[in-house]
Structure 1
Amino acid sequence: MRKRQKKILRAKIKEMKSYFKKFGFKKAILGVSGGLNSSVSALLTVKALGPKNVYLVRLPYRGVTSRKSLKDVEKLAKNLKIPQKNLITIFINKPVDASWNLLKKFKGSKQKLRKGNLMARERMKILFDLSKALNAIVVGSEDKTEKALGYFTLWGDNASGIEPIRDLWKTQVHQLASYLKEIPTEILAKAPSPELWKGHFAEKELEINYFEADIVLSAKEDLKMSKNEISKSFKIPKRKIRKILERAKIGQIKNSLPYELKY
């Protein structure tokens, strides 16, 4: 296992170095939440470019983002030897609330989700503006599971210049993080949460277990197994498999956007 993680790490660092050199950039900027994905992306970026060339940006929303998340980012930054001036914090309440006050009158059944999406898009808007100011590339932190399930905000957390871990399933990201000693144990033990509202947890919202999702999606994609074969081989109930694959249809739609008309 350690040999495999070492191989993944070496390959990703090499590819990141090549990407930045190809496009003439020396600096990177990341939105860091205190979660696993952004922590792993940050570590890979630091190993590729060096800590002085990496900016970590916390973009909390007061009343939703936990103090623990903010502290976890500080610990990560310390482990990665990020200079103090490269750790930036910008609260997003004012711009998000300004947009929401204009839009909330348009009633719908998903008010909480709509405001959460505004937060995700505001964060990416800020990151891209800072990237221009700092002459840096925005590094994303989406994994293969989130992409396959469409579990992201369009033009929000799926927007970036480079995605270091998008080819890794959620469980693979966790395995890699466990191998990397710089990732704080508090982050490793944390349940996945976008923190778009209080008490927001990814698996609870999706009603899907990530471990089972990875098994089903990888078996379907890599091994071309049928639902019956997956259920029998991995002892996963068919109703759970159906739910995961139904959610993956949303992913197919979101990942195909924008659709281009051709003549």
Structure 2
Amino acid sequence: MVFRDLKGKKLTLFEMWQPFRQSILHRHKFYVEQARVRLFSQFDNIQEDAFEASEEWLEAQSRHFDPDRHDPADLCERANNIQIEFYQLLVDIHERTRLSVVAGIYHEWEKQFRQWTHDEIRRWYRGDNVLSKIWSVDVGKLAELFACLGWNFKNESYFPKLNACRLVVNVFKHGDGSSLNKLKQDYPDYLFNPLQKFDDMFSGINHLDHTALKVSDEHIREFSDAIAEFWKDVPEKIVDLPTASLPNWFKDAVKSDKNANNNEANVNL
């Protein structure tokens, strides 16, 4: 499949404008840095916060304390339980906050990638079916498109982290399913297994469900770096290749546009 302009020259199909690249990188890094400063920092002293919660509970109970009816040891035990529960709830919120930040940076990357791809195609092709497919096909199919044109980012060193980020976000959003199974198989480091030191039938990773999903601050940094490397790796120009055989989903969309008489580009199949 070869695209030509009206003079018969090869088209520049995709172009990454350097100020646009730098703008995307700046916004991405700003988001991650501010998440650390404004969100994660709130969980720096959760042990002290949990202790204060138990102390506040004890103080409230002391106003109604009757030594003839109340046991001080019982109150202390209940205060300790409140401290433990409060601490665990804060840990859970911290975990969900991390995962929410991961989801935020991944979804923003995906939307920006699709928008850039859509806008670049729209410069030389106006068919509705092709343009809508850019928003509906999975990212793997977009990767196929660019691989056919000489940029195979799935072979780059940052891609495994980018792919792991996608699976983590899917598990966070949907729970158990194919993404969790893929995560178990390819990226088990993002699943916490409290029984892994025990040698029994329930200690294997296959017994874990979506509640085992855990990401650390280091994981977030790795995901962030992978997204930044992706944007740095986008070629300045991707041109039409005479030998390119584009993916079937793209060809089918072009044919649908032709049948609907919506194709305004010069296309040779």
Which bin holds the TM-score, normalised by the shorter protein? under 0.3
Q: Which has the higher contact order (CA 8 A, sep 6+)?
A: 2
Name the one with the larger helix percent. 2
Question: Scaled by the length of structure 2, what TM-score is found?
Answer: 0.27
Question: Scaled by the length of structure 1, what TM-score is found?
Answer: 0.27
Indicate the structure (1 or 2) with the bigger Cα radius of gyration.
2
